[in-house]
Structure 1
């Protein structure tokens, strides 16, 4: 095989995957009737046939961008001086990301133009189409979202060319994820009656697909430059692909449940039949990935001539081809009307108009414990964190190291509690009752962090994760680099952590941040992340085990703790005595036939903020006192051992000093 054959094979595989994606998208569009003329408001043949093509190519290009940046940030070495690992794959991968981002930008522009043509029923060649498109991108939310997607994709293209470090690759990758977040708000999710769940499940689906498809495609394009590092790179990507597959399965199941009602819709509608075909291809893709992991990765060593084994190319070609077909079906599914109406039907209640959800019944103890409205991203993150934590514990035990059972139980309780408080009764009723929202907030910021800090996840990770020695940055390097960074040291400082822990509550509730968290999915997610992390940093500074802060003496810790207790008390009193309603256009317009008035409920929330904080604060005070006592005992034992070793020399010198001082006083 000539030297250029691996590159040609990888490019042919990608082209075949893209062609299959377009072909399957067109075939599915014909089956679903999307390409047929739509009567009076027909956008034209170019729009009808071009939309599935542009969408499929755009999704594939975006996936390659995310996958390539992931390889740069966490998989590929930058060079160690060895001939087989000289970092030649690094600049090639940045070029792959930049070119794919350019294609993504062009496809996003085409999607914007054809999307407006579809919505308006106007062909792009019609007179006045340009001026109408201008109004669409400036006045209509969907148009603003699509043009923002174009801008972000273009910025990713520019920044990808400038990437020189894993940190830069991570920052650019986060920008690409922002584009996927914008994309998740289009299509069926934009007008779904269960908007929050639809958007989060679509975002999780897009990220999972991008990581798996794009990562494998980028790895195939640069495999011939990796040399001896091909095997380690593929082995590192394999578990990432496994998590991406799981994210696709979970989010796909949720999306299907929102849009299909029973087996009859699966076989009796165009959407259902396309969904069944996608599920079958997805299962085939999973089997191919499993075979790739078990059969190929252990044997991934370059041949004597330095070329990549042919088995790798065959399996990559098959997997990319199936991925292309799945992507084509996914592109058409986004434009096919589902059997279950996605827009709310009938006369909307005030609660549905304001919150997007029906008003729940009067809260009871049973409903608080059994009612769920899944926060998919947080719930999936908690489940993934729990699985990873337990795997780390098992890894330590397998090599003979011990990990306290109490820490494991603390992690389980903390993560399950976080999942419940963001998806269970506190989340459902916290959307319509300020008092319930305050219960959710207090548990999230004051109770969950205690369990997470006592679980010592950073300490466990630093012991369980392998060390990278080839110049790449793995999970351990990223984690420890973040923990020991200047920003982390600043926010982990006990005084800063205490101010952030207490002060951010005032900033949150008395600024538009509270309304933003109530009305947007991103705002809600940022609220959960910020307050959980702020609570963890504060608790870790006081009684934690993980590295990070320079912890002060125990008296200072008690002062910080009691200071935050006083602040929480003042905050609760302020809410109890307040005469105006926070976010009145939300809590004041729900039309609740049960419970207290909105202002009385807000005062109840202030009392909860005042009273519920006392219990975890008291628990922290007791923990500090216990640690203080144990520290004194350890110090005493250490001094006793030192005295035994040197015969009490230090004590004898001290007594002699006192005797000399007494003699001098007597002489005077």
Structure 2
């Protein structure tokens, strides 16, 4: 269906939205983001297969998790849901939360950075790729974009800035602007998740406490924005204020659903990341304690022994002083 509100190579469904039409395998004329997901999944799987063929170990679980993230991107951006997301606030919000909150943890848990370093050959083009990867890890730009002082404002802009400043109304009427926003959502979600959840080599590694603080700082952002949407009685984004008549969808009701998704669906991935961080913290503390116990059993406790020797010297000095008296 042609739509006067969206320009560019787009296809918008004619049928009213339903689960069947949402999940219908209907690609847009230019399925850019699904194609990116296919390429990422293929590269990751090729690298894993290369390690396995060389007799080197690589986690099947991490491979499955990364590929699951790619599949979710393909479905969210490649099925009929993308057509409805071009015009419906609730669907677009679902896509945004999926790209920013649900997919990045799956991609990051796959440890693509470590796989890249292990599977890339150290000759020819592979040598150049490794040099670029190491240069990126040491760069000042990587330290900046992965710092909470950069990422928290990006999350604020992704919700409040995009929808309340007119950016959405300026970009969404064009396919190019629509896809640009979707890519920015995915990139910002990955950049936020990497320092919080990644075990890949990083320019700066945060403590467990720092990661918890980052999660707690992010969690209220989209939840409060969801409340704003649910309480609004007029369209927050003018672009979503008029929907195709054939869909029989009330824009204000749809906006309320979008707010409910931001308040509920957006919190679940954050809670799961919070649990992962706490489990890792407890595990690392246990391993550190056991290592300290083994070291004490093997080497003793020099600090405590020195302190006891000092107390013994004081006792002997006191006894000599008493005998001289």
Q: TM-score, normalised by structure 1?
A: 0.43
RMSD: 2.7
Q: Counterparts in 2 of 1:553-572, with a 5 A limit?
A: 553-572=207-226
2:70 aligned with 1:389: no
Displacement of 1:421 in angstroms is: 1.1
Partner Cα distance (1:397, 1:371) in 2: 33
Displacement of 1:554 in angstroms is: 2.0
Tell me the residue number matched to 1:533. 187
Aligned partner (choices 35, 60, 66) of residue 405 of structure 1: 60
Displacement of 1:492 in angstroms is: 0.7
2:275 aligned with 1:622: yes
Tell me the residue number matched to 1:4. none
Partner Cα distance (1:369, 1:658) in 2: 75
Displacement of 1:468 in angstroms is: 4.9
Tell me the residue number matched to 1:505. 159
Partner Cα distance (1:657, 1:431) in 2: 77
Helix, strand or coil for the counterpart of 2:57? coil
Tell me the residue number matched to 2:5. 354
Tell me the residue number matched to 1:548. 202
Distance 1:448 1:648, change over 3 A: same
Distance 1:644 1:378, change over 3 A: same
Partner Cα distance (1:644, 1:464) in 2: 40
Tell me the residue number matched to 2:18. 364
Partner Cα distance (2:309, 2:254) in 1: 68
Partner Cα distance (1:658, 1:436) in 2: 72
Tell me the residue number matched to 1:591. 244
Larger radius of gyration: 1
2:136 aligned with 1:482: yes
Partner Cα distance (2:16, 2:175) in 1: 25
Helix, strand or coil for the counterpart of 2:16? coil
Tell me the residue number matched to 2:69. 414
Distance 1:390 1:594, change over 3 A: closer
Displacement of 1:553 in angstroms is: 2.5
Tell me the residue number matched to 1:466. 121
Task: Kindly indicate whether the alpha-carbon contact (under 8 Å) linking 2:195 and 2:205 is maintained by their aligned counterparts in 1.
Answer: yes
Q: Deviations over 1:23-63 (max 9, x none)?
A: xxxxxxxxxxxxxxxxxxxxxxxxxxxxxxxxxxxxxxxxx
Aligned partner (choices 35, 53, 57) of residue 380 of structure 1: 35
Task: Kindly indicate whether the alpha-carbon contact (under 8 Å) linking 2:230 and 2:255 is maintained by their aligned counterparts in 1.
Answer: yes
Partner Cα distance (1:653, 1:596) in 2: 78
Task: Kindly indicate whether the alpha-carbon contact (under 8 Å) linking 2:88 and 2:243 is maintained by their aligned counterparts in 1.
Answer: no
Task: Kindly indicate whether the alpha-carbon contact (under 8 Å) linking 2:163 and 2:237 is maintained by their aligned counterparts in 1.
Answer: no
Task: Kindly indicate whether the alpha-carbon contact (under 8 Å) linking 1:468 and 1:477 is maintained by their aligned counterparts in 2.
Answer: no
Displacement of 1:460 in angstroms is: 0.8
Aligned partner (choices 231, 251, 266) of residue 613 of structure 1: 266
Partner Cα distance (1:634, 1:498) in 2: 32
Partner Cα distance (2:222, 2:24) in 1: 30
Distance 1:353 1:396, change over 3 A: same
Displacement of 1:377 in angstroms is: 1.9
Displacement of 1:390 in angstroms is: 1.1
Unaligned runs of 5+ in 1: 1-348, 664-668
Task: Kindly indicate whether the alpha-carbon contact (under 8 Å) linking 1:575 and 1:603 is maintained by their aligned counterparts in 2.
Answer: yes
Tell me the residue number matched to 2:99. 444
Partner Cα distance (1:428, 1:528) in 2: 13
2:299 aligned with 1:646: yes
Partner Cα distance (2:160, 2:309) in 1: 55
Partner Cα distance (1:506, 1:473) in 2: 43
Displacement of 1:432 in angstroms is: 2.2
Partner Cα distance (1:432, 1:474) in 2: 43
Aligned partner (choices 631, 640, 651) of residue 284 of structure 2: 631
Distance 1:582 1:658, change over 3 A: farther
Unaligned runs of 5+ in 2: 316-325
Task: Kindly indicate whether the alpha-carbon contact (under 8 Å) linking 1:390 and 1:408 is maintained by their aligned counterparts in 2.
Answer: yes
Partner Cα distance (2:168, 2:95) in 1: 14
- The count of corresponding residues between Structure 1 and Structure 2 is 310
Partner Cα distance (1:454, 1:641) in 2: 31
Q: Higher relative CO (CA 8 A, sep ≥ 6), structure 1 or 2? A: 2
Partner Cα distance (1:483, 1:517) in 2: 33
Displacement of 1:412 in angstroms is: 0.6
Task: Kindly indicate whether the alpha-carbon contact (under 8 Å) linking 2:48 and 2:115 is maintained by their aligned counterparts in 1.
Answer: yes
Partner Cα distance (1:367, 1:567) in 2: 31
Displacement of 1:515 in angstroms is: 3.2
Q: TM-score, normalised by structure 2?
A: 0.85
Distance 1:390 1:658, change over 3 A: farther
Displacement of 1:528 in angstroms is: 2.5
Q: Deviations over 1:151-191 (max 9, x none)?
A: xxxxxxxxxxxxxxxxxxxxxxxxxxxxxxxxxxxxxxxxx
Helix, strand or coil for the counterpart of 1:519? coil
Displacement of 1:523 in angstroms is: 2.1
Displacement of 1:643 in angstroms is: 1.5
Distance 1:415 1:626, change over 3 A: same
